[in-house]
Structure 1
Amino acid sequence: MEHDPNGSGPSPTQPLAEFYREQFPLVVSYLLKLGADRAEAEDAVQNAMEMLVRHPEGIRSRAAWVRVVARNNWIRAMRRHMKAMPAGVACNDVEREGGRSPSNTDPADVIRQITEQEDAVRMIRSLPPTQREILALAFDGYRPAEIAEITGSNSSAVRANLAHARRRLGRLLTDRQALRTLGTAA
């Protein structure tokens, strides 16, 4: 794969089909980390990729641009969805997706793994939206300066939000482990 000269991602000269194959699952994963369900994420990313194909000119970093456009597509779709919902109806924001397991895997291990994944998703979703977004971009390998450019904030704010998010997740993990220890001691 060809990269930008600064090493931050795919080159603008990379063929679009290759870019799509490489980036589609990564951007879907990014939206899942932000709180989208799989169908919402895939729709938002597909729409962003179509926009890129129609208007590729002037885009300096296609990977960053697609993430921003996909995020904005997802947010707009959620707003439309929320407006269309009858009053008093709550959305279930817990991701129910788990992977398939090899046939030689102990079912108890698979259940434990799915439960841990759901717990991790719940913990990440408990973060404030800004911290969740910045953490998702960091998981995707973006540096604070790149995250600042994507989100429109400054690098020091990005670093502070990353530190706050990591501390909060650390506390949540510590609390979770303490609860498990109490549960096994009973």
Structure 2
Amino acid sequence: MVERTSASARDTDDRSAPPVGQRRDALPAETVAAFSAFYRDEVGKLVAFLVWQGASVADAADVAQETMRRALEQWVTIHRPGPWTRRVASREYARRVAGLPEVPADDLTDRNPLLRAPASEIAAWEARQEELRLLGHLPGRQRQVMAWTLEGYQPAEIAEQLRMTPEAVRSSLRKARRTLAAVWREESGRP
């Protein structure tokens, strides 16, 4: 179920941030350096996180870029940027799924630099396709919880970010694992 609270009330850690779309006059060099390092380390992971949730690569790249733009605007107020970007991106993707028709994409690689990757990264992405196919068998909430789990987050951390109880997270994980095991058994012909 998609939460219906306002984006501004849930996506910032501090109310002193400028509104989305408003530029800061000049960011200090250390702020730019910190954000740049974070961006380089995390943007690919954020795209993968969204793909695990069911986004196409093109949609995931677009949502990741928008999320990172918002993160830069609010950088000085974000205390935990990893969970913050995942929470904001996950919610943005959910909003797009709930309200926007899917638009077929031709070749978006020229327009989005996140889609231009070296061969080694493409091979790693292709290796994940079986996982993604299996995750496609899960309902939305279970798939979302599994995406956070695949990112290395613990149930208590996931619960905090998704505003769930840790017990609900563990229950979703248990159900997801049972479903995935059943699909694997069925497809492999094992009892």
Give the TM bin, normalised by the shorter chain. 0.5 to 0.7
Distance 1:132 1:165 in 2: 7
| Alignment correspondent of 2:179 | 168
SS in 1 for 2:147: helix
Distance 1:43 1:71 in 2: 12
Question: What letter corresponds to residue 21 of structure 1 in structure 2?
Answer: R
State the superposition RMSD in angstroms.
3.0
Distance 1:66 1:52 in 2: 7
| Alignment correspondent of 1:77 | 96
SS in 2 for 1:15: helix
| Alignment correspondent of 1:94 | none
SS in 2 for 1:35: coil
Question: What letter corresponds to residue 166 of structure 2 in structure 1?
Answer: S
TM-score of the aligned structures, taking structure 2 as reference length: 0.66
Percent identity over the alignment?
28
Alignment of 1:97-176 (within 5 A): 118-176=129-187
Distance 2:87 2:128 in 1: 25
Moved over 4 A (4+): 99-102, 116-119
Compute the displacement of 1:55 (Å): 1.4
Distance 1:25 1:100 in 2: 12
Compute the displacement of 1:52 (Å): 0.9
Compute the displacement of 1:56 (Å): 2.2
User: Do residues 16 (structure 1) and 39 (structure 2) align?
Assistant: no
Q: Say if 2:63 and 2:92, in contact at 8 Å, map to a contact too.
A: yes
TM-score of the aligned structures, taking structure 1 as reference length: 0.68
Flag structure 2 segments of 5+ consecutive residues without an equivalent.
1-30, 105-116
Paired positions, count = 145
Question: What letter corresponds to residue 15 of structure 1 in structure 2?
Answer: A
Bigger relative contact order, structure 1 or 2 (CA pairs below 8 A, ≥6 apart): 2
Q: Deviations over 1:60-119 (max 9, x none)?
A: 31111101111122222333432x88xxxxx9xxxxxxx9989xxxxxxx9xxx6x8544
